Structure 1
Amino acid sequence: MTHETKRLHPIAIVIYTVKRLRQGPFLVLALLIAIKKKTGDPFIDWLPLFLFLLYALFAGYMSWRRFTYRFEENEMYIEQGIFVKKKRYIPFERIQGISQSFGLLQRLVGVVQVHIETAGRQIDDPEVVLPAISIEEADQIKRAIRNQNEGNMLIQNEMDVVFTLRFRDVLFLAVTSGGAFGVIAAIGAFFSDFNDFIPFERLKTFLPIDDMTSTIVLLFTMLIVAYILSIVGHLLRYMNFTVVKQKNTLMITTGLLQKKSISTSIERVQAIVVKESPIRYLFGYVSVHLVHAGGSLDDGKQGSLLLFPIVRTSEVTSLIATCFPEYRLHGSLRSLCTCARWRYMLRSLYTVMLIPIITIVFFQRFETLLLLVPAVYVGYRSYKRAGVAIKSEQLALRRGWLTTKTVYMLKHRIQSLTISQSRMQQRLGLCTVHATVMPGIRTKVVDVDESTAKTIYEWFLGN
């Protein structure tokens, strides 16, 4: 690769400017001042907003101007920063994942955005982002990194399409998602302060919201609109979702308007997580996530990568075996002993017990005792779903009541295994099993019987 110092495509100025505009409170504050304090002079009224837009444009230009990068033999060199210049040297061997996305702005000029995750990166330290480089250069970066990580061997072009998400599955994923609640929360937060700037009395001239029926219709309409927006958002995000395997690399592509491509090494995968939500599980669907040492490549939780957004339960085992031959997924986990059942139900009761006590003592509202019924059910379901299993060199831990998570871990990927006991657990012969596969990422199962916990511990210590 060339050692020439390069700049991003000029469209990065627009991208950086938009990013500044999206950075929360300053734009909101400028808008609120412009709307609330009217002097009659349009220039003075809108001056705060104009100054903020000018600042965002200046910051966008300077961010592009001060961002340079170049490639040495086996490393990448980056300089960036408006007021404080930051220099970074990144060896290719420390790059753990790379993702590529095509937003609307990038598509207009034929460039891509590249995210690069490195080893040893702190949670609050941002990954390397190249907002606008050519497609050819992005491919060169991926090939150079792959060559370095595979010992400078010639890359094979053989690619196997492992998984393709069908439209009916994408539609089912969108319909059963919980994203609508996030949209509803955003709309509710907006309307909670809406009356401070546009009084509801003014709306009555346009909307008949005097009676209860009109209010219910308005709320129901908001709910339907939020649900439709959520469905459309999921369709745009997960259309054309494909998983391709090329030697020891997984490549995930997804998106309709904003196309994204994620590339990560199989060697970076620390564990596999299978999630079962109630509605999808009834129809025979689950989702599969990877715990990987490559940051948040898909803009999700740190260390988590979505492998299959939705997949048939009957197909999971064969798909995982194709991508990760070392793993053996199975549903036959060992359930917890009977004496752990009442502990799960009591723990669930503790979380809501305070509400009936307060309402009965101060308000004599005995109907709040009904809250104890679903609390007991939640505890019982948590008990029934929990389980552990050892199979060859693999440990599986399962927990949860609404969404059940089963984590499959290989022995050599487990960084630490802890068996703990409280005094009450010691009397009942129970333990808690903790397993850590990455710093800050751990899973546990509470109230495992002592004999099973001892077996797990001896398995972990054994050669």
Structure 2
Amino acid sequence: MNKIERNHILRLFYDFINMIKNFIFFAIISIGVLITKIGLIKSILISAILIIVIILYQFLAWRKNFFIVKTNSIYHEEGIFSIKKIEIPLDRINTIDISQKLLERIFKVATIKIDTGDTNKDSELKFTLDKDKTETLKNILLKNQNITTNTPEEDNQLYYILSSKHLLIYSLISNSLFKGLGLLLVAQQFLDDYFKAFININTSDYINKLQKDKIYNNIKIILFFVIALILISLCLSIIYNFFKYYNFKMWADEKNIYINYGALNKKNYSFYKEKVKGIHIKQTILMQCFKFFTLEIESIGYGDEEGEKSILYPICNASLKNHILKNIFEEFQYTGQINKPPKNTYFRFLYKKFILWAVTAAICFFIKPKFALLSFIFLLFLFIMGHLEFKNTAFGMDKNIIYMCCHGFNKTQSLLKINAVQSMTLSYSYFQYNKGLCNYSIILHSSSFGKTFQVKNLKNNLSRGIF
């Protein structure tokens, strides 16, 4: 308490690397110009002086970046020429995140992020400290809020552990499969540009060769590559998810939720239940077929980092989903009526997709008439998408909760607290108005200055008497 604390020296290394990444392109061009103007030796001397100046500046910035934990607040100050000071009451803290990258684990260091739930980014504090200091700071902050810091095993709290079996299922039926496809595309470019210097291989040649072979051989080769592509991307998806969600645990007590996971990059989250503003129950098309769900939450400060989701539980069946919602989020139990779009709105979910198909088919026909036949596969895809959007769309409200369901291939059910809603908008076109229909848009208070949720083509009298 009341002691000045600074970031670990590793933070200085991070800042230096980030500066190099931001200015590397400019630096290369500048060095090239200097060499042509004043020669190699003088350019090296100037570059060395600039590097020393940058290192000194980063060191001073590191020294001037410190924080003090007081009895009822945490004080932070940073800056050399422009000094910024902020003091946050401890009872305003919304989320405490602790993460460890591989390099940090080697040096027994961790990064702690403290978020107040304010939409102002200045209210977010992030420090890189010794692992012991990180845990001490976390315990001080949680103790001030009367949050227990026991593990679930110690206190016999309600907790859930993700098994390897379910993590494998998640890898197979979630959208993480596309991450594997993305890695394969990068690998293909690497093979074409770099690896062919050692082995005479060019994946583009196989595509060009297809034009010279017979149609049946082409189909066999395409099917082989598609199957191989899917299998490899599945393997990459499994590896990615096992590293990301390794040893996933979620537990809760009467007031708070705790989430731990990660192999190389370990994550540790703690936040108040009452500050959760919404729950999202998500399903990919395969999850809809096999009745699995992904649970995410809407809580300011959680899941707002790049590449991170506000995950509550990666995958669960209907029984486990209901158990989690009933035992941890009892206040999100929805008891109102679920309203679906009228049957006469079915075409409204399809007509824009038919227009898109017609334009695409016309373009294909003018390029090569045979391609127009292939566009019917695209039409089938669009029809299924529109049908699922009609099937999945729903809206309802009770005294405390707004229920919304939307999307086709990636179905999302949202349970939102009414007291967290900034505004509700009813919009409609001339044709919707004549049929008594409208679109409902909900803006929820979040870290992105209001997050919008929308459902379309529902009766316009579903929100009366709520606000």
Q: With the length of structure 2 as denominator, give the TM-score of the two structures.
A: 0.79
Distance 1:447 1:247 in 2: 40
Residue of structure 2 equivalent to 1:118: 116
Compute the displacement of 1:436 (Å): 2.4
Q: Are 1:434 and 2:430 counterparts?
A: no
Does structure 1 residue 13 correspond to structure 2 residue 38? no
Q: Is the 8 A contact 1:112 1:138 kept in 2?
A: yes
Alpha-carbon distance, 1:6 to partner: 1.7
Offset, 1:257? 2.4
Cα-to-partner distance string for 1:35-66 (whole Å, 9 max, x where unaligned): 9xx99x99999999999987876665444333
SS at match of 1:415: strand
**Which AA in structure 1 matches 2:68?**
R
Q: Displacement of 1:339 after TM fit?
A: 1.2
- The one of 196, 199, 206 equivalent to 1:203 is 196
Q: What are structure 2's unaligned runs of at least 5 residues?
A: 210-220
Q: Secondary structure at the match of 1:318?
A: helix
Confirm or deny that 1:175 pairs with 2:160. Answer: no
Q: CA deviation at 1:373?
A: 3.2
**1:139 and 2:149 matched:** no
Q: Quote how far apart the aligned CAs of 1:12 are.
A: 2.4
Q: Distance in 1 between matches of 2:144 and 2:171?
A: 39
Once residues 331 and 368 of structure 1 are traced to their aligned partners in structure 2, the CA distance between those partners, rounded to angstroms, is 45
DSSP 3-state at the match of 2:247: coil
Specify the SS of the correspondent of 1:6: strand
1:306 is aligned to 2:304: no
Secondary structure at 1:268's aligned position in 2? Answer: coil
Distance 1:397-1:211 versus aligned 2 partners, 3 A rule: closer
Give yes or no for the alignment of 1:367 onto 2:366: no
What amino acid does structure 1 have at the position aligned with 2:11?
Answer: A
Selected match of 2:413 from 406, 427, 433: 406
Residue equivalent to 2:159: 162
Map Cα deviations across residues 301-347 of structure 1 (whole Å, 9 max, x no partner): 6xx62101111122111111211111226898432111110111113
Question: Is contact 1:241–1:253 with CA below 8 Å preserved after alignment?
Answer: yes
State the match for 1:4 in structure 2.
3
Counterpart of 2:170, as a letter, is L
After TM superposition, list the pairs within 5 Å mapping 1:274-423 onto structure 2. 274-294=281-301, 296=303, 299-300=306-307, 305-328=310-333, 333-360=338-365, 366-367=372-373, 369-370=375-376, 371-391=378-398, 393-423=400-430
Comparing 106-115 with 366-375, greater Cα deviation is found at: 366-375
CA distance in 2, matches of 1:52, 1:192: 36
Q: Deviations over 1:197-246 (max 9, x none)?
A: x6x7x926622449945999998888766654442221111011111213
Deviation, 1:263, is: 0.8
Question: What is the match of residue 102 of structure 2?
Answer: 104
Does the CA-based 8 Å contact 2:261-2:268 persist in structure 1? yes
1:106 deviation in Å? Answer: 2.5
Cα distance in 2 between the residues matched to 1:81 and 1:344:
54
2:216 aligned residue:
none
Q: Residue 327 and residue 295 in structure 1: after superposition, are their counterparts in 2 closer, same or farther (change >3 A)?
A: closer
Q: C-alpha displacement at 1:294, in angstroms?
A: 2.7
Q: Are the aligned partners of 1:14 and 1:60 in contact in 2 as well (CA < 8 Å)?
A: no
Aligned mates of 2:345, 2:77 — CA distance in 1: 57
State the 1:116 CA deviation.
1.1
RMSD between superposed Cα atoms in Å = 4.1
Shift of 1:258: 2.3
Pick the aligned partner of 2:264 from 257, 261, 266: 257
Aligned equivalents of 1:6 and 1:213: distance in 2?
A: 60
Question: Structure 1 316/92 Cα, relative in aligned 2: closer, same or farther at 3 Å?
Answer: same
Alignment length (residue pairs): 440
Separation in 1, partners of 2:42, 2:190: 24
Question: Shift of residue 78 of structure 1?
Answer: 1.4
Query: What is the alpha-carbon distance in structure 1 between the residues aligned to residue 97 and residue 149 of structure 2?
Result: 20
Structure 1 window deviating more from structure 2 (236-245 vs 79-88): it is 79-88
Identity %: 18
Distance of aligned partners of 1:140 and 1:351 in 2 relative to their CA distance in 1, 3 Å threshold: farther
Contact 1:115–1:128 at 8 Å: present in 2 too? yes
CA contact (8 A) 1:115 1:297 kept: no
CA distance in 1, matches of 2:114, 2:198: 53
What amino acid does structure 2 have at the position aligned with 1:318?
H
Find the counterpart in structure 2 of residue 128 from structure 1.
125
Judge conservation of contact 2:403–2:413 (CA < 8 Å) in 1: yes
Q: Match for 1:343: what amino acid?
A: R
Q: Distance in 2 between matches of 1:73 and 1:205?
A: 64
Structure 1's 235 and 45: CA in aligned 2 closer, same or farther, altered over 3 A? farther
TM-aligned CA deviation for residue 131 of structure 1: 1.6
Deviations 1:248-286 (A, max 9, x none): 111111112222101111111111110011223333311
